[in-house]
Chains A and B, each alone.
Chain A
Amino acid sequence: GDSVTQMEGPVTLSEEAFLTINCTYTATGYPSLFWYVQYPGEGLQLLLKATKADDKGSNKGFEATYRKETTSFHLEKGSVQVSDSAVYFCALRESQGAQKLVFGQGTRLTINP
Chain B
Amino acid sequence: DTAVSQTPKYLVTQMGNDKSIKCEQNLGHDTMYWYKQDSKKFLKIMFSYNNKELIINETVPNRFSPKSPDKAHLNLHINSLELGDSAVYFCASSQEGNRGQETQYFGPGTRLLVL
Complex Cα distance, B94 from A34, in Å, reads 14
Q: Is the CB of A101 within 8 A of B42?
A: no
B101 touches A32 (CB 8 A): yes
- The contact of A43 among B42, B44, B90, by CB within 8 Å, is B90
Binds A, one of B11-19, B60-68, B70-78, B104-112: B104-112
Query: Of B45, B55, B107, which is within 8 A of A101 by CB?
Result: B45
Structural contact, B105 and A46, CB atoms closer than 8 A:
yes
Given known pairs A43-B90, A44-B106, A98-B55, the reply for A93 and B44 (CB within 8 Å) is no
Q: Which residue of B lies closest to A9 (CB)?
A: B41
User: Do the beta carbons of B105 and A31 come within 8 Å of each other?
Assistant: no
Whether A106 contacts B100 by the Cβ 8 Å rule is: no
> A73 contacts the other chain (Cβ, under 8 Å)?
no
Residue in A30, A38, A43 with the greatest tally of chain B CB atoms within 10 Å: A43
Q: How far is the CA of A53 from the CA of B96 in the complex (A)?
A: 21
Chain B interface residue bracket vs A: 20 to 34
The 10 closest A-B pairs by CB, nearest first: A99-B100, A93-B100, A44-B106, A43-B106, A103-B43, A106-B41, A43-B108, A51-B101, A32-B101, A98-B56
- The interface bits of chain B over 29-50 (1 if a CB of A lies within 8 angstroms of the residue's CB, else 0) are 0000100000011111100100
A-side interface mostly: strand
> Within the assembled complex, what's the spacing in Å between the Cα atoms of A36 and B40?
16
Write the B86-110 contact mask toward A (1 if CB under 8 angstroms, else 0).
Answer: 0000101000100111111111110
Interface residues on A, range: 20 to 34
Given A32-B99, A44-B106, A108-B41, 6 other A-B contacts at CB below 8 A? Answer: A32-B100, A93-B100, A94-B100, A95-B100, A98-B56, A103-B43
In the complex the two chains form, what is the Cα distance from A87 to B42 in whole Å? 11
Instruction: Decide yes or no whether A45 CB sits under 8 A from chain B.
Output: yes
Q: Is the CB of B100 within 8 A of A31?
A: yes
Residues A103 and B42 in contact in the complex (CB < 8 Å), given A43-B90, A43-B109, A98-B56: yes
Q: Which residues of A contact B90 (CB under 8 A)?
A: 43-44
